[in-house]
Amino acid sequence: MLLSIFAIVEKIKKSIATVVKHTGSHYIISELPQWELIPAVVRGKLRLSGGSTTNPIAVGDKVEYSVVTDESGIPCGEAVIHSVLPRDNYVIRKSTNLSRQCHIIASNVDCAYLVVTIDRPETKWPFIDRFLVTCAAYRVPVKILLNKMDLYRDDELLMEKVSLFHSIYEDAGYQVMDISVVENFGIDELREQCRQAGISLFSGVSGVGKSSLIKSLDPSLEPKISNISDKHLQGRHTTTFYEIYPLAGGGFIIDTPGIRGFGLVDLEQEELSAYFPEMLRVEDNCRFKPCTHTHEPGCAVIRGVEEGSISLERYNSYLGMLDEESKYR
């Protein structure tokens, strides 16, 4: 009997895998780029080490795990996650300003795609800018997908908003891609970008069409899709878990639940402007250093707003973030 137990223990082997799905206390992992799904659980000690985050292990995390097998190599139960390897980057948020806990949306992301819409629903400027600032702060390359273009083309007012959106964010230094699932517009280019990137994160508020967009990239995938609520012109939460999908042509996509609030995490007021590319380009020309870009004479950022080289919308987002950080610090 004792020999049999030792034979099993000797078959315990630790390996490295990526978390591809998180469902409460259970995880699915795979040794990417291989797609062989392994159910896993977490040791209680590790689960308690998450600190102020609601999820000590996030989708995209690389973890060290082990599986016990018998002498013939057949697994004996679920895999056990022992540790989380250091993250290259991650996207993190607070759901509200008053919240003390944070949530890591995904980690080790090669490119984050923020999916936005001009209408049905309208993605608010402050949400967009908070997401972009967070990506910059935590070293996540980010691009913007302007989705549902088929709804805007015959509406002159909406197309003016599209033009303004492009002007503001492209001038700031971001790539903005027009996308339409209905017209299959921009899908081929996006699919190729995802194939080359490795692991791509798709995020946005509810109803912007993330799941439909993912399905258009690979029709074999089955992310949940729902219609917009006519009563509130908002999206309904259809994706309930954070999950990685493999694309048929190569690459992986992280689908996320729709996000309603996006509070900043651990960003100091004096460093905030460094995460606005258009401000970073000119702030060395400010008369005073450090400069808050709010009231100081000779401020290059304020001058840029007055002259139109820095958009008023983005500047107002910056002021809102400063105010938010001072209130809830």
Asked if residues 45 and 265 have their Cβ atoms less than 8 Å apart, the reply is no
Please give the single-letter amino acid code of residue 166. Answer: H
94 lies in some domain = yes
**CB atoms near residue 267 (< 10 Å):** 19
Residue 62 sits in the same domain as residue 95: no
Decide: pTM greater than 0.75. yes
Residue 64 sits in the same domain as residue 98: no
Structure tokens at 100: 């003390």
Q: Is the dihedral of CA 200, 217, 132, 323 positive or negative?
A: negative
pLDDT of residue 203 exceeding 70, the answer is yes
Mean pLDDT of the chain: 86
Residue 313 sits in the same domain as residue 194: no
What residue numbers bound the domain in which 202 lies?
90-255
The pLDDT of residue 22 is 87
Host H or E run for residue 83: strand 79-84
263 lies in some domain = no
Span of 128-132, 170-174, 251-255, 266-270 with lowest mean pLDDT: 266-270
Residue 179 sits in the same domain as residue 280: no
Task: Please state the domain count of the chain.
Answer: 3
Residue 80 sits in the same domain as residue 122: no
262 lies in some domain = no
The pLDDT of residue 10 is 42
261 lies in some domain = no
d(CA 145, CA 280): 23
d(CA 191, CA 219): 12
CA-CA-CA-CA dihedral for 295, 296, 300, 302, to nearest 10 = 10
d(CA 102, CA 253): 23
The pLDDT of residue 55 is 84
Asked if residues 210 and 178 have their Cβ atoms less than 8 Å apart, the reply is no
* pLDDT tens by residue, 11-61: 566 899 999 998 877 899 999 999 999 999 987 666 555 457 788 899 999
**Closest by Cα among 256, 251, 257, 255 to 214:** 255
d(CA 252, CA 207): 22
Residue 149 sits in the same domain as residue 241: yes
What CATH number is associated with residue 21? 2.40.50.140
Residue 123 sits in the same domain as residue 16: no
**CB atoms near residue 329 (< 10 Å):** 7
11 lies in some domain = yes
